[in-house]
Structures are given as C-alpha cells and as structure tokens.
Amino acid sequence: MPSQVRVVWDAAFTKYDFGPSHPMAPVRLDLTARLCAALGIFDAPGVEVVGAEPADDDLLATVHDRDYIAAVRAASEDPEAADPAYGLGTEDDPAFRGMHEASARIVAGTVDACRAVWEGEAEHGVNFTGGLHHAMPASASGFCIYNDAAIGIQWLLAHGAERVAYVDIDVHHGDGVERIFWDDPRVLTISVHETGRALFPGTGWPTDVGGEGAEGSAVNVSLPPGLGDAGWLRAVHATVMPVVRSFRPDVLVTQHGCDTHAEDPLAHFAMTVDAQRAAADSLHRLSHEVCAGRWVALGGGGYEIVDVVPRTWTHVTAIAAHAPVRCTVPVPQEWRDHVQRLCGRPGPALMGDLTSEDGPLWWRSWDMGYDPSSDVDRAVMATRQAVFPLHGLDVYFD
C-alpha cells in the first residue's frame, strides 16, 4: 500500500544559507518542520519523512548547462571565486561554502518526491525546501541556484509522464520554470504573480503564452499590487482551474511561495495564511480530480519567517497528509516557546489570520460576472483572452 505522503525533510536542508543578512533565512524551514512535528503531522498515519543526498551532476544537467554546474561547484569550494557572469557572488545569490551540495540536495528531494508519486510509492509528495523557480539553465537568479522544480518535471517526462502541469502561486513570476519549458507542449506552466511592473523579475505578461509549437503551454496571471484574499482567490480559480482541467496532466506540481502574504517584506500583496491554505486545498482537490491525486507540492519564496512561512507550509503538508489543520486551531505552545527563545518575540497564536470579525473567506467565481472597472478582473481577462482560446475554453464563462 502506498504511503499517503512523502515529505522531504531533515536538518541538512538548512545548509542552504546565504548568510545572516539575506532574506532567505534557513530557520524558516526549521520552524516549518518543528511546527509540523508539534502538530503531529509528521507522525500521522501514512506520512513518511525522508532526507536526501545531493543530486549528481547528470541529474542537474537535465536542466542546467555543465559550465554553470562547474561554476557553482567552484564557488562552493571557494566563495571568493564566484563568477557574476553566472549570477553567482551577487547580492541576491552570494556564494557560500557548500553551496553546490546544499542546492543539489534540494533538487534530489524534489526528484525523490516526484519519483515516489510517479511510481506509486506515495500518493502525494511535499518538499517545502524546494520550489526554487527563478534558477535559469545557465545562471543563478533570485535566491535560486538549481531549479529543483524543473529538474523534477524533467525527471517525470523522462520516466513516462506525457503531460505535467506546474502551478506557481508565489508572488514572483515563475520565470525559470517557464523559460526551461517554453517550447515544450508537454509542460503547462501557470504563474499567478504580482505584476512585473512592480516586482522582480519584471516578466510574466499575459501575452507570454509559450514558444512555437507550444502555444498556450505558458500561462501568466499578472496582478496589481495591493491585492487581497478575495481578488487573489478569484484570479486563481478563474485561470488555473479551467486550464489545468483542459490540459489533463499526468502529474500536478505546485509551488507554494507564500510571499503573497500581507506581512511579507519583499512584495506588495495583502493575503492571509487562510487564503494561502485555501489555495493549497483547492490545488490538492484539483489533483484528485484531474490526475488521480498525483501531486507534488513545493515551497518557494516567503520572507516573513516566523508568522507566515511555518504556518503556510505546515498547512500544505497537512493537506497532503490528509490531516488538514483548521485555521482556528491554536499554534502548539511548545512551538511558540521555541520561537520566543529564538526570536525574542511570540509566534502567532492561531493557525490562521482571520478573526470572527473578518467573516469567512469568500470570493466571487468568474461565472458571477466580469467587472471591467476592477483591475483584478481586467488582469484575469487579459490572461483568459490570451490563452483560453488556445485550450478551446470560453473567455467569459467557465
């Protein structure tokens, strides 16, 4: 009997560490794992928690240029030797000793989750240390060295998957994964993000729909700054769901960057943990609907490391474990005590952000009508007009 979920985790993953002044602090991963453990998710029936050894160069080279891998290895041995021509030793991607191994370990974790799901060892896979979606074939970018998501997808294609859907709900455009599969009609990449006019990497426009022979295989939902739960969930449901249903993937890979949250210091959306959980729940259900539950969920961005990242990815893991945690559940005191000792401030009290005064999480479905005076609706409509006809879908109605 397959396990319910393969969760990739051990303490070695915290070695992906750009240093104390960098926003991508590895403690966010440790706090996530501790919260999962404190809630009993790692001990729930059918949950396997496994580490990984660094991926070998042949696996990395299914996506990355050999010259780039050699440059990462050189910078990893001697950070002074980092070559900015490969995006290494930069402000976003400073070199550190052991960088190659730390990055290749994340890749191996994602590939292992993909393999376990594809070979039927586990129903779902989770690697919240992964989702490093900005890494390019020949350069580091945006805190990402190796593109574990793309390497996992490439592994699936090489082992018999005919169609893979990748859905990226990080606040930043999933540019690396999109670029790598731009010309490949077997891989649908959907990125829902804050407009490149306001945010790194400055790309991801609705009219970017994929290369020749792969038109419609890239989907970009470019949303205005300031967006809150209702607009974001409306946009996700009005774009991701119909296109994935129409594409009929063999596997669904999702990236759950939680830098969409109101407290995230790097971006300008205003989401709650509750909305991020709701999106994960919907994507999980979608995997059961379209691909027999073959679902691999990854982490990604997220720079509010105490209040946001641990709760969001704990929800993702709990959903994949079929042991979802309500947003009204108190955060375990042992975890809050640990946060107090570590950070000198209390962690969040509940597993969600919304209070009874906020009312329930709610959004309008697209079928309830298109409002041309809404900047969210105009953004959604731009995406639907650009790609829905390529999938034989109606622009106005689901």
Question: Which positions are catalytic?
Answer: 134
In the complex, the smallest distance separating the C-beta of residue 174 from Zn ion, rounded to whole angstroms, is: 9
Query: Shortest gap between Cβ of 233 and Zn ion (angstroms)?
Result: 18
Q: How many CB atoms lie within 10 A of CB 396?
A: 12
Contact 221, 264 (CB under 8 A): no
Query: Considering the complex, what minimum distance in angstroms separates the CB of residue 301 from Zn ion?
Result: 2
For Zn ion, the closer CB: 59 or 164: 164
Q: CA 106 to CA 48: how far, in whole Å?
A: 17
Burial class (CB in 10 A: 0-12, 13-18, 19+), 392: exposed
State which residue, 163 or 322, has the beta carbon closest to Zn ion.
322
Counting Cα atoms < 13 Å in the Cβ hemisphere of 300 gives 31
Query: Residue 181 or residue 269: which is nearer to Zn ion going by CB?
Result: 269
Residue 105: what residue type? Answer: R
> Which residue type sits at 204?
G
Residue 346 identity:
P
Looking at residue 261, what DSSP letter applies? B
249 burial class (0-12, 13-18, 19+ CB within 10 angstroms)?
buried
**Least distance between Zn ion and beta carbon 19 (Å):** 19
Q: Which is nearer to Zn ion, 100 or 193 (CB)?
A: 193
Q: Hey, what are 198's tokens?
A: 């306001």
CA dist list (Å): 339 to 37, 107, 116, 305, 332: 14, 29, 33, 11, 11
Closest CB 193 distance from Zn ion, rounded Å? 8
The residues of the shown chain that bind Zn ion, judged by CB under 5 A, are 170, 172, 257, 259, 293, 301
Which residue minimizes CB distance to Zn ion? 301
For Zn ion, give the closer residue by CB, 301 or 310.
Answer: 301
Q: Are 3 and 48 in contact (CB under 8 A)?
A: yes
Work out the angle at residue 92's Cα, subtended by the Cα atoms of residues 143 and 225, and round it to the nearest 5 degrees: 80
